[in-house]
Amino acid sequence: MATAQQVPDILSPEFAENPYPAYRVMRESAPLIWHEATQSYIISRYDDVERAFKDKESVFTTDNYDWQIEPVHGKTILQLSGREHAVRRALVAPAFRGTDLQQKFLPVIDRNARELIDTFRHTGSVDLVGAFATRFPVNVIADMLGLDKADHAQFHRWYTAVIAFLGNLSGDPEVAAAGERTRVEFAEYMIPIIRDRRENLGEDLLSTLCAAEVDGVRMTDEDIKAFCSLLLAAGGETTDKAIASIFANLLLRPEQLAAVREDRSLIDRAFAETLRFTPPVHMIMRQTAADVELSGGTIPAGATVTCLIGAANRDGSHFQDPDTFNIFRDDLTTTTAFSAAADHLAFALGRHFCVGALLAKAEVEAGVNQLLDAMPDLRLADGFDPVEQGVFTRGPRSLPVEFTPVPA
Ligand code: HEM
């Protein structure tokens, strides 16, 4: 087994600047690394990460979330397994697909995209990250839950604290304390709203969660609060990065941007390829319940495993020319890219496969369509080269663009 010295450390500035060369070295010559600072085993090959996510042998548990996210959200679906997980999943999943998504939430998504674009459509220049990507998904979630619009700014602050907590690989105590404070503030805010909503059910997601029942099981106020808190991070941060990255990838390749502008059915291809090439979540952890042998050696029982999605998605044994962004590649199936049969690993696979994948797809479609309509000659600001930031989650730091405003 390799040690961290042979490849750039995942906590080093060099890795943060550009992890892709390090991912290549890991896949090729150090597929299993013991990483002292995070006390975890790092895996990077597609087959190993896929095996951990699919977990056919019931070895890779999600017990890591007990310390990784419970302090900030409370106990969530991510920590559950077996029947308990299946019941909880059945309670929440219908809200994120099918008629609920189409009829109740698509209008919410469209409206939120339009409201944000209205703030800059006449200006001729904007930072797509600051003015759109970081706001759109979190506004959509707050609106889907039926929360007060006036609280969106507060939601955005909590969201930022939660994200910082999750990405706190180096264990900064101030970031940890801010994350824990958010848990208290969020509970003080949400619990009275949940109690009130139980008495006054409406058409919103919070009402659906209050009323949902499977096999006589309902969610408690604490369960619903924790789930809403998880949605901020799981549905906000990820989709935020996805929207910023799809634009960065296309703006850097004007011929592919032109193709998508011309034929909007290509948005799904561009989104799937963005999820493969620049996934919003670069690493997901698991905890082993037994010794398990992977490429490069054996991981002992009770160990934390860091699964590098960003590395696995560029594994040459699964994708041709993996370091090239190409929306027309034929080794990535668009029809399954937003389901548990996906060939990229950006939504994970197996029982914890992202429950919000179709919602994310709907948001990206609406956002990209409306932005392209509002900005016919969209281009990167003169001389600007997008810089990615983040190690745990990753996306462009900013994306200043210029365009000729469409006359009203
Ligand atoms: C491009 C956007 C998104 C990406 C890349 C993404 C990524 C992921 C990943 C990697 C997981 C698996 C975590 C694990 O196995 O440990 C996950 C699970 C989850 N995601 Fe997403 N996600 C996205 C959007 C969303 C949205 C929009 C929502 C909902 C509003 C959402 C809600 C969830 C939930 C609740 C889970 C836990 C599912 C379970 O434990 O059964 N995600 N997501």
- The tens digit of pLDDT for each residue in 26-44 reads 999 999 999 999 999 999 9
Q: What span, in angstroms and rounded, lies between the C-alpha atoms of 294 and 42?
A: 11
Residue 383 in any domain: the answer is no
Give the distance (Å) from ligand 1 centre to CA of residue 150: 26
Q: What span, in angstroms and rounded, lies between the C-alpha atoms of 245 and 321?
A: 19
pLDDT at 27: 97
pLDDT at 36: 93
DSSP SS3 for 395: strand
pLDDT at 3: 55
* pLDDT 10s digits, 317-352: 999 999 999 999 999 999 999 999 999 999 999 999
pLDDT at 217: 85
205 lines ligand 1 (CB under 6 A): no
Segments forming the whole domain that contains residue 71: 2-377+392-402
CATH classification at residue 169: 1.10.630.10
Q: Which of 206, 347, 361, 368 to mutate to test the pocket of ligand 1 (most atoms within 8 A of CB)?
A: 347
Give the distance (Å) from ligand 1 centre to CA of residue 342: 14
Residue 38 dihedral angles phi and psi, to the nearest 5°: -95, 0
Give the distance (Å) from ligand 1 centre to CA of residue 61: 16
Residue 387 in any domain: the answer is no
Q: Which atom of ligand 1 is closest in space to residue 137's alpha carbon?
A: 27
Asked if pLDDT for residue 4 goes beyond 60, the answer is no
Residue 160 in any domain: the answer is yes
* pLDDT 10s digits, 185-205: 999 999 999 999 999 999 999
238 lines ligand 1 (CB under 6 A): yes
Residue 220 in any domain: the answer is yes
Asked if pLDDT for residue 116 goes beyond 70, the answer is yes
Please answer whether residues 345 and 46 qualify as being in contact, where contact means their C-beta atoms are separated by less than 8 angstroms.
yes
Q: What span, in angstroms and rounded, lies between the C-alpha atoms of 283 and 67?
A: 16
Asked if pLDDT for residue 5 goes beyond 70, the answer is no
- Does pTM top 0.85 for this prediction? yes
Give the distance (Å) from ligand 1 centre to CA of residue 316: 25
Residue ID of nearest Cα to ligand 1 atom 6: 347
Residue 382 in any domain: the answer is no
Residue ID of nearest Cα to ligand 1 atom 19: 354
Residue 386 in any domain: the answer is no
Give the distance (Å) from ligand 1 centre to CA of residue 219: 19
Number of domains composing the chain: 1
pLDDT at 346: 98
Angle at 35 between CA 180 and CA 31, to 5 degrees: 125
Residue 78 in any domain: the answer is yes
235 lines ligand 1 (CB under 6 A): yes
